Amino acid sequence: MSSSDSDSDTSMKEAQDKGFVSALDLPDVPSQKLPPHLELRKTRVLCNADAPVNTDTIQYSGAYASMGVDNSLRLDHFSNNFRVEVTRLTEEEMEFDMVGINPAIANAFRRILLAELPTMAIEKVLIANNTSVIRDEILAHRLGLIPIKADPRLFDYLSENDKPSEKNTIVFKLHVACERRGPRIAVKSDELKWLPNGSELHKASEGSNPNAKVETYTSFTRSQDSLPEFSSNPVTVYPDIIVSKLGPGQEIELEAHAVKGVGKTHAKWSPVATSWYRMLPEVVLNEEIKGKKAEILKQKCPVGVFDIEDLADGTKRAKVARPRACTLCRECVRDGEEWEKRISLRRVKDHFIFTIESTGALPPEVLFTEAVKILEDKCERVISDLS
Ligand code: SF4
């Protein structure tokens, strides 16, 4: 044996004595499969008591090439794994699981929903009279934020050079007065009355020709209620939004023009109250937690993730009953290292619990399908620009 061989044997022994493990001593893993610790790093965020780790997504296609694992993005792999499952659906809210996608795509859907899906919102307010305590500009701002139930897909955008017509504008009027001797009244959103023939306010005419045609602020060629797309009248989604309060003798008379726009121009056009996602929680008990400790663990969790089960020998054991409810508050791993060792809190990196809260202009499921179409259009634009 040469002196260099004996040196390397000695240093290996020293390393083993110190607790280091040689790569050659790791168990064999089949080709095309990552060893468990790398699989965990690739697919889970580990939520330790102090901070989450492994939050990045490993996108480099050759990241695991030395282990014979292909990490490239493949269309067939995506279409085999991707799925959407709706877990809750009401008129205003939808929760669904989106599985098998990258966080960047989930975030793209969220941003499209917030900023790029059009709706109709009040943009121009013509105030004929306002003696309320609310100033004109605040009143106009409040009116703009009232959600309008009108399908934006039926309307055109109103550009700078366009005239307001039946295809790009919805006109409402609001005229409320509080009697001089009456009590104070609240002006609510249901006071906005739809004008299917367009504006009724006359523009001030130039000159003094009495035969000149009276002009209004819109140029409708026909009534909107004669069009099939207006079979359900555009109304405000919620009838009881307070616009202003009027004291005795006060009055508001105005006309409000709603046009099509998107949330990135102004939040009033955003079709969602909010749209958000979280990764699927995974709560793992690393050891059996029995007896009093099981009771303590159950008490620690504020959202009831853990339950107690009775074993045949009469002892009680903690089990993870509702992992999806975990909010990652980390209460269960807080009291010292021993609890941190007992419980692993994780997030599945490619499983998103997505929630859409619609403002009511369009149902949430329609909003999502429209968001998919917008993302599709964007992808097609990129492909055509590149080719
Ligand atoms: S992190 Fe919070 S919510 Fe999640 S299991 Fe622990 S205590 Fe419950």
pLDDT of residue 334: 85
With 60 as the cut, is the pLDDT of residue 113 above it?
Answer: yes
Are 274 and 358 in contact, with CB atoms under 8 Å apart?
Answer: no
Token pair 């791993």: residue = 333
Cβ pair 49, 330 in contact under 8 A: yes
Residue nearest to atom 7 of ligand 1 (CA): 301
Å from CA of 87 to ligand 1 middle: 21
The model's pLDDT over 293-315, given as tens digits with 9 standing for 90+, comes to 999 999 999 999 999 999 988 89
Question: Which region, left, alpha or beta, applies to residue 74 given φ > 0 means left and ψ of -120 to 50 means alpha?
Answer: beta
Q: Give the C-alpha separation, 64 to 139, whole Å.
A: 60
Q: How far does Cα 83 stand from its chain's mean position?
A: 18
Cα(255)–Cα(169) distance, rounded to whole angstroms?
12
Question: What integer pLDDT is reported at residue 67 of this predicted model?
Answer: 83
Q: State which ligand 1 atom lies nearest to the alpha carbon of 331.
A: 7
Cα 288 to ligand 1 centroid, rounded to whole Å: 17
CA max distance for the chain: 119
The continuous run of DSSP H or E covering 349 comes out as strand 343-358
Ligand 1: distance of its center to the CA of 299 in Å? 11
Residue 139: closest CA among 91, 94, 189? 189
pLDDT tens per residue across span 262-281: 999 999 999 999 999 999 99
Q: Which of 303, 335, 343 to mutate to test the pocket of ligand 1 (most atoms within 8 A of CB)?
A: 303
Structure tokens of 86? 């709706």
pLDDT of residue 110: 97
Atom of ligand 1 nearest to the CA of 327: 3
Higher local confidence (pLDDT), 11 or 72: 72
Mutate to test the pocket of ligand 1, among 50, 297, 322, 326 (most ligand atoms within 8 A of CB): 326
CA–CA separation, 3 vs 299, rounded Å?
Answer: 62
* Residue with the two structure tokens 């022994």: 13
Query: Quick check: 200 pLDDT over 70?
Result: yes
What is the tens place of the pLDDT at every residue in 139-197?
A: 999 999 999 988 899 899 999 889 999 999 999 999 999 999 999 999 999 999 999 99
- Pocket probe for ligand 1: among 330, 334, 339, 346, the residue whose CB has the most ligand atoms within 8 Å is 330
Cβ of 345 less than 6 Å from ligand 1: yes
Total-model pTM: 0.82
Please tell me the distance between residue 296's alpha carbon and the centre of ligand 1 in angstroms.
13
Q: Which residue shows structure tokens 């997030």?
A: 347
Tens of pLDDT, residue by residue over 230-247, are: 666 667 788 999 999 999
The CATH homologous superfamily for domain 37-117+270-387 is RNA polymerase, RBP11-like subunit (3.30.1360.10)
Please list the residues that pair with 253 across neighbouring strands: 129, 175
The domain limits of the chain are 37-117+270-387, 119-266
Q: Is 311 in the pocket of ligand 1 (CB under 6 A)?
A: no
Asked if the domains 37-117+270-387 and 119-266 are classified in one and the same CATH topology, the answer is no
Report the nearest-CA residue for atom 4 of ligand 1: 326
Which residue type does 318 have?
A
Class of the CATH-defined domain 119-266: mainly beta
**Shortest CA distance to 142 belongs to which of 16, 256, 47, 284?**
256
What is the C-alpha to C-alpha distance for residues 92 and 364, in angstroms, rounded to an integer?
A: 6
Contact 361, 234 (CB under 8 A): no
Whole-number pLDDT of residue 1 = 45
Residue 281 Cα, ligand 1 centroid: separation in angstroms? 10
Q: Is the pLDDT of residue 378 over 70?
A: yes
**Residue 110 exposed, middle or buried by CB count within 10 Å (0-12, 13-18, 19+):** buried
